[in-house]
Structure 1
Amino acid sequence: MTMDRLYYIFIRVVALLMVILFLVPIVWMLLLSFTPEGQNIFGSEALHFTLDNYRKVLSLAPVFGWMGNSVIVSVATTVLVLLFSSMAAYAFSRIRFPGSRLLFLLFLSGMMIPAEATLIPLYLFMRDFGLLGTRMSLVLPAVAGPMGIFILKQFFDGLPKDLEEAARMDGAGFIKIWYSIFLPLSRPALAALGIFTFIGAWNDFVWPLISISDKAYMTITLGLPMFQSSYVQQYALPMTANALAAIPVLIVFLIFQKQIIKGIAFTGGKEM
């Protein structure tokens, strides 16, 4: 057996072990959500599967309401980040104006500031403008993130300038060039940025915990810990709530798994 064959087998075995490692918690969660409270799933007695846990969770907690808030916040954040980041990246990449390089460096310097350092100024800003405790307070801070501008600018810099020059000869302005040429050609970069923005907005916990106090506007990341804290002595109900919250994420992954893999490859290198 050649070394290449051994390496191939080794990589496949490691990948299989990693799959099993990540699937075990999911399977454990699903098994507990379908079994009555207190039943030992590894015991000698036969397992009895039931949907009572799901009925109890849906009657005790507004899980779908929390998920709806998370969907609204995540989708709105993703759309606005793609819109404003692509416009800013196009301006930095193709439009030369006084101080453009300095301004871009200032944007990049924001990546070195930890998010925790901005919590107090952000809280005071949202309070003064009357946005605290609303969905807008969850959406607007993420829109100003510099990461999207950096990723898209790097992609725009690699696009050929001949297309832009030809469009200008036809009378196209900056907005039309950005909309009709740069956005269609940058779909891989936009897909990668959109996926990671959506996941980041969905999983955000610290800022929603500070800015949201009304239960009607709570996201799933806030609602689940609050629900679990009420049932610390039980296992089935918290696991059932986690299983319900995981359904949208699993659906998004199954639908966009190719784009997610391409997005990881894109952010790790220049080519996909």
Structure 2
Amino acid sequence: MKWIYRIISLAFAAFFLIPLVWMLVVSIKKEGMKITSVVDWFTPPYSLAVYNEVITETKLLLWSWNSLFVAALVTLFTVIIAAMAGFVLSKIPFRYKTFIFLFVLSGLLIPGEAILIPLYQLAKEMGILNSYFGLILPALASPIAIIVLKSFFDGVPNDLLESVQMDGGGTFTIFRRIMLPLTRPALASMAILTFIGSWNNFLWPFLSVTDDNLFTLPMGIPTLMDQFTEDYVKPMVINTVASLPIVVVFLIFERQIIKGISLSGIKG
């Protein structure tokens, strides 16, 4: 039976790889070539001229860097803030803790579109529009990350924390040396989801940025597409170049990504 599952898995993998292979092949075709059949997509001549044009004459690489920079910082600070907040709500006794938890929980009930206008006005008054701060700061509040991490922290036995306290460990020591290592899968899961969400975010950057030097990929790519042409080469080149950073990130953190996704729905 194992070989049947392997064949099915390989078939599904090949099915999902076909669009990627097609994108790569089309991206090295000559622009403006006449295509009359499917075979024409995969036959010479090939050329890298459009790659050179896209890289040298557009700001696609800059936009890729902007997306990577913003997504990395949003992920880092969101996970740090959510981990500290989740730890406090889970293990630190204080007044009104239940009320604050319900307040954070209520953040899931409010659609993001409903706060765009007040968020824009606040960012304008703070003077952070058209800046990296304007792209990063509003994305750091993540109620779902706080709630998920709190649920994982709840699964850590209190007896373990009390034993650390008896040995002289303070709150920060417990958080850094006990809680974070034990909840690493949850942290990885939240980091992955946060990074993907920030990488694909379009609406807020579209509202808060007008300087094309600060565009992220979801904003910049549509400006490069010519809606009056049927040529496929340039769009495929743009998408190939834009995909490279996220592919590199996946290859570097492949093991953590797969483990984090597999445990994202499991309570610790």
Normalised TM-score (structure 2): 0.91
* Partners of 1:82 and 1:193 within 8 A in 2: yes
Amino acid at match of 1:15: S
Unmatched tracts of structure 2, length 5 or more: none
* Alignment CA distance shift 1:70-1:46 (3 Å): closer
Deviation at 1:234, TM superposition (A): 2.7
Asked if 1:37 corresponds to 2:38, the answer is no
Deviation at 1:172, TM superposition (A): 2.5
Amino acid at match of 1:58: I
Q: Distance in 2 between matches of 1:261 and 1:193?
A: 13
Deviation at 1:269, TM superposition (A): 2.0
Instruction: Specify which of 70, 73, 82 is matched with residue 73 of structure 1.
Output: 70
Match of 1:111 in 2: 108
Q: Deviations over 1:58-88 (max 9, x none)?
A: 1221111111111110111011011110100
Q: Distance in 2 between matches of 1:206 and 1:20?
A: 33
* Partners of 1:148 and 1:193 within 8 A in 2: yes
Tell me how large the CA RMSD over aligned residues is: 2.0
Q: Distance in 2 between matches of 1:9 and 1:113?
A: 48
Q: Which structure 2 residues correspond to residues 1-272 of structure 1 after superposition, within 5 A?
A: 5=1, 11-12=5-6, 14-39=8-33, 40=35, 42-43=39-40, 46-229=43-226, 232-270=229-267
Q: Percent same amino acid among aligned pairs?
A: 40
* Alignment CA distance shift 1:79-1:45 (3 Å): closer
Deviation at 1:14, TM superposition (A): 4.7
Q: Distance in 1 between matches of 2:5 and 2:151?
A: 32
**SS state at 1:125 partner:** helix
Amino acid at match of 1:90: F
Normalised TM-score (structure 1): 0.90
Amino acid at match of 2:114: A
**Greater than 6 Å deviation, 4+ residue runs:** none
Q: Tell me the number of residue pairs that the alignment of Structure 1 and Structure 2 aligns.
A: 265
* Partners of 1:231 and 1:238 within 8 A in 2: no
**SS state at 1:267 partner:** coil
**SS state at 1:43 partner:** helix
Deviation at 1:176, TM superposition (A): 2.2
Q: Distance in 2 between matches of 1:176 and 1:45?
A: 59
Q: Mean alpha-carbon deviation: is it higher for 33-42 or for 54-63? A: 33-42
Deviation at 1:156, TM superposition (A): 0.6
Deviation at 1:56, TM superposition (A): 0.7
Amino acid at match of 2:205: P
Q: Distance in 2 between matches of 1:22 and 1:82?
A: 31
Q: Distance in 1 between matches of 2:195 and 2:154?
A: 25
